[in-house]
A = this chain, B = another copy of it.
Amino acid sequence: MATALDKITLAKGAASALAQASTAQKNSALANIAELLPARATEIISANQIDLANGVANNMTESLQDRLRLDEARIQAIADAAKKIIGLADPIGDVVRGMSLPNALKLTQVRVPLGVIGVIYEARPNVTIDIAVLAIKSGNAVVLRGGSAAEQTNKVLVQLLQDALALAGINSDAVQTVDEFGRDGGVEMMRAVGLIDVLIPRGGAGLIQQVVQEAKVPVIQTGDGVVHIFIDETARLDWAVEIAHNAKVQRPSVCNAVETLLIHENAVERVLPAVLDRLAESGVTIHGDQATQDNFFAAVPATDESWATEYHDLDISVKVVKDLDEALAHIAKYSTKHTESIITENVENAERFLNEVDSSTVMVNASTRFTDGGEFGFGAEVGISTQKLHARGPMGLQELTSTKWLVRGAGQVRA
C-alpha cells in the first residue's frame, strides 16, 4: 500500500507537468471540476453522510457538523466558486521586473509556480476544492490533509479533482490527499524537505503553532486574529456603531472578526453607549476595563487575559485609551498582526494609523471583515498570512507563485 511519502512523491513527480500546462489547459481542468461536482452530487453526499454519522458518534459539535455537511445546494455553490477562478488572470509567466545590464545581458524576472503546496486544514470539504482550484490555476501540485473527520468526503472529492485533471490532459497525480494516514500524514508533510515547497496550516491556533514548531519545510503562518478597532475622538457615530457591530456580529467565528474595541477617552460620552448598546442588543458580552464599566453598566470586568483573547464568539474586550499613541501601543502589544481598523475623521491620525500599525491589513473607516480573498477579488483564498515572509494577508493565485530570473546573453563572461 502507498505511504504518505509515496503520495507526496507522486505530487512532486507531477509538479513540472502542471507547471508547464497552458492557461487553456488549466482552465479546462477547472471547468471539468465545476461540471463534475453537481454530476457526482449523489456520490459526494453519500460519502459525506458517512463522515457525518462518524462525527455524531464522536460527539462532533453542531457547528463543526454544519461546516462538514454537504448538500446539493452547497455542492453547486462550490462548483460556482471554482468556475469564477477560470475568469481570473493566470499569474504564471507574468514579467515582474526586467532590465538590460551594461554588458547587454537581458534580465527578465518571471512568475513561476511554487511547485508542490501542502495544506493542512480543518474538516471542511469546500476548502478541499477551493485550495485545489487555486493551486491548479497557479500551476502548483498540491498535497491535502483535510482532517480525518472529512476523510470519506475528501476521498471522493480528490478522485473528482484527479479525474478533472486527467480529462484536461494533465498528470492527475498533481492532487493528492494524505487523510487516510491520520496525523502521520501531516507529520510526513512537515518533514518532506525537497518535496513540498511550502506548507500552509489553516485552522486553530494549536494546529498552526504545532506546524510552525515542528515543520522542516518552509511554512506560512495563517489566521490567528486578535483584531482591533480604534474609535478615535472624532469618529462618526453612525460609522462607529455600524462598523463595530458588523465586525463583531456578522460572523463572530472567523479570524477577521473584531475582538477588542479601543475608544478615545474624549469619545466615551458621545460614542461608547450607542456602540455598546447595539452590540449588547445582538447578544454580545462586553468585557470592559474600569472606565468602560463606569460608563456601561452591563459590562463585565475585563481581565489581563481579555486583551490577548480571540473569542471566536459573541464576546468583545473594550478599553478606553487616552489618545492614538496609547491605542497604537496597545495594538503593538496584543495584535496578532492580522487586521486593525481606525474610525476617525482626522486625516493625520488616519495616516499615522496606516503607517504605524504593523499588520497584514490596516483600515480606515471600514469593517475588519473585509480582509478576505473573496472580498479582495482573489476569487478565494488558501489562507490569510499573518507573517511577513513571502505573502501577507489573503493568499490568492499570486501568493502561490515564486519567480525566476531568465538571462539572455550573447557570449558574455565576467571580467
A interface residue numbers (CB < 8 A to B)? 16, 19-20, 99, 101, 105, 107, 109, 112, 114-115, 193, 197-198, 212-213, 216, 218-220, 236, 238-239, 242-243, 245-247, 250, 332, 341, 350, 354-356, 358-367, 369-371, 375-377, 387-390, 392-393, 402-414
A404 proximity list for chain B (CB < 8 A): 358-362, 392-393
CA–CA, A360 to B115, complex, Å? 13
A218 proximity list for chain B (CB < 8 A): 218-219, 387, 389
A193 proximity list for chain B (CB < 8 A): 212
Q: Are B238 and A414 in contact (CB under 8 A)?
A: no
Q: Are B355 and A413 in contact (CB under 8 A)?
A: no
CA–CA, A19 to B332, complex, Å? 14
Q: Are B409 and A366 in contact (CB under 8 A)?
A: yes
Asked whether A107 and B376 contact (CB < 8 A) given A242-B413, A406-B362, the answer is yes
Asked whether A375 and B414 contact (CB < 8 A) given A388-B402, A402-B388, the answer is yes
Asked whether A101 and B360 contact (CB < 8 A) given A216-B212, A393-B404, A413-B246, the answer is no
Q: Are A409 and B362 in contact (CB under 8 A)?
A: no
Asked whether A361 and B407 contact (CB < 8 A) given A366-B105, A387-B218, the answer is yes
Q: Are A114 and B389 in contact (CB under 8 A)?
A: yes
CA–CA, A250 to B19, complex, Å? 35
CA–CA, A250 to B414, complex, Å? 8
CA–CA, A406 to B365, complex, Å? 11
| Copies of this subunit | 2
Q: Are A412 and B370 in contact (CB under 8 A)?
A: yes
Cβ contacts A to B, 18 pairs, < 8 Å: A20-B356, A101-B377, A105-B370, A115-B358, A198-B388, A218-B389, A242-B413, A360-B405, A361-B406, A361-B407, A365-B411, A366-B411, A367-B413, A370-B407, A371-B407, A388-B402, A389-B389, A392-B404
Among A109, A198, A332, A405, which residue has the most Cβ atoms of chain B within 10 A? A405
In the complex, the chain B residue whose C-beta lies closest to that of A19 is B358
A377 proximity list for chain B (CB < 8 A): 99, 101
Q: Are A407 and B366 in contact (CB under 8 A)?
A: yes
A112 proximity list for chain B (CB < 8 A): 358, 388
CA–CA, A112 to B216, complex, Å? 27
In the complex, the chain B residue whose C-beta lies closest to that of A193 is B212
Asked whether A414 and B107 contact (CB < 8 A) given A358-B115, A409-B364, the answer is no
In the complex, the chain B residue whose C-beta lies closest to that of A352 is B20
Asked whether A411 and B236 contact (CB < 8 A) given A389-B390, A392-B404, the answer is yes
A20 proximity list for chain B (CB < 8 A): 355-356
Q: Are B16 and A388 in contact (CB under 8 A)?
A: no
In the complex, the chain B residue whose C-beta lies closest to that of A251 is B414
A375 proximity list for chain B (CB < 8 A): 101, 414
A332 proximity list for chain B (CB < 8 A): 16
CA–CA, A130 to B170, complex, Å? 46
CA–CA, A135 to B341, complex, Å? 29
Q: Separation in Å of the A191 CB from the closest CB of chain B?
A: 10
Q: Are B362 and A407 in contact (CB under 8 A)?
A: yes
A238 proximity list for chain B (CB < 8 A): 411
A250 proximity list for chain B (CB < 8 A): 413-414
CA–CA, A358 to B116, complex, Å? 13
Q: Are B216 and A408 in contact (CB under 8 A)?
A: no
Q: Separation in Å of the A161 CB from the closest CB of chain B?
A: 23
CA–CA, A236 to B413, complex, Å? 14
Q: Which 8 A-B pairs have the closest CB atoms?
A: A366-B409, A246-B413, A388-B402, A390-B390, A369-B414, A239-B411, A363-B407, A361-B405
Q: Separation in Å of the A246 CB from the closest CB of chain B?
A: 4
